A and B are shown apart, each in its own frame.
Chain A
């Protein structure tokens, strides 16, 4: 199962690449439609087309990526605690956070510089600090702030994960569901009392409660591996069936929300059903640990570099998409061309940078750039 974690990480980073390329696909389809279609074209004219549903199918599958990353990180905390210690050492927590924050700062500063150069966006020093504290330099960097919070909580989580794991998991799940439910009025386009509005408007993605269950599940799994592995294996067909059913239902669910709210271009948010899908997917992935996975070695290799790819793919994809917007807008009309370009460059350039740095004298600074 341990080896499976690295493959899961590899699948998760591929998922992130596909998720963000689909995101740019939606941008090209809706916000940039007038770059390749007459100005009179309805912005959402392409909603409901083949490319639209292809993106939705990808988005729905990929909801498991961040839960998978957090699960692996939680599992590490259990490993790092060991059998004899009461909880994980603060020195280990400190080392992990340091190794996350240095690359995070570097890539965030690059994102700020890109904002200045490409958009002329200049903010006050306070606004930059606020963005850094909330992972807001790019839409994807919230994950680092989220993960740092979990690492900071982990010395307190570990004793509970050891002795009261059912209670801990239940509390984490309830907390996560409660926060997710707050987003439903926005998803459904409902009117809410004004006092509730600040909570409903935006539950920030960097807030630990939004994903509390996944990290906790990883910690608990690490401490009770034998028991839980036997349990998930016993019901392996249930997890597989649930994965397929909740995947299909998740696609239908989101389409229904879009119809009810009338917001065709609404960005996908994690729903309650998506949680069931992610749990079922992760459990099925480990329950069928004896089933070999195609390209598992390559996926494991990718998994080992997932943090570096995660940080680097964001600016690469943005520059690629914007370059196409300015230089070859006709490409935006053909997702069959636009998507492979984004995916190949979004994965290929970060990997190339990683490999080049590994083989150059600058490799001693690798940790500061790619984690």
Chain B
């Protein structure tokens, strides 16, 4: 699975708990209530374990976690720069 598919799978299974809501990679994760205060922390934890990549505190911002697409792009850029 590629990064986007892995993230989408985690969000659907663990954060959305299989709710019958279709989400696309560009959907707003916060405004739609998919991610809350604990969800974002869980997502950071998951990324660090799954991709073996330490997300710097200053990178945990809305712009990078706004959507699955934004997060995928951030991870690609950050991992390439690391």
Contact = CB atoms under 8 A, between A and B. Distances in A.
Q: Do these two chains interact?
A: yes
Interface of A: 1-3, 5-6, 9, 72-73, 75-76, 79-85, 89, 91-92, 95-96, 98-99, 225-226, 229, 300, 303-307, 358, 363-364, 366-367, 371
A73 B37 contact: yes
A225 B57 CA distance: 8
A72 B37 CA distance: 7
A73 B65 CA distance: 17
A225 B42 contact: no
Given A83-B61, A91-B31, A96-B33, A3 B38 contact: no
A75 B61 CA distance: 11
B2 interface: no
12 contacts: A2-B44, A5-B41, A6-B45, A82-B63, A82-B66, A83-B62, A85-B62, A96-B36, A225-B58, A226-B58, A303-B41, A305-B38
Nearest to A147: B37
B60 interface: yes
Contacts of B42: 6, 300, 304
- Range, interface on chain B: 20 to 34
B31 A9 contact: no
A307 B41 CA distance: 14
A80 B45 CA distance: 17
B30 interface: yes
A75 B41 CA distance: 11
Given A95-B30, A99-B36, A367-B19, A82 B62 contact: yes
Contacts of A85: 62
A364 B44 contact: no
Interface string B37-65: 11011101100100000010110111101
Nearest to A82: B62
Contact of B38 (A6, A80, A91, A95): A6
A364 B18 contact: yes
Interface in B1-38: 16-20, 28, 30-33, 36-38
Contacts of A81: 62
Contacts of B48: 3
Q: Which of A2, A5, A85 has the most CB of B within 10 A?
A: A2
A79 B40 contact: yes
A57 B82 CA distance: 46
Nearest to B60: A2
A76 B33 CA distance: 13
B30 A75 contact: no
Contacts of A3: 41, 44-45, 48
B36 to A, nearest CB: 6
Given A82-B62, A225-B58, 14 more contacts: A3-B41, A9-B38, A9-B41, A76-B36, A79-B61, A82-B61, A83-B62, A84-B63, A85-B62, A92-B30, A95-B31, A307-B38, A364-B17, A367-B19
B31 A366 contact: no
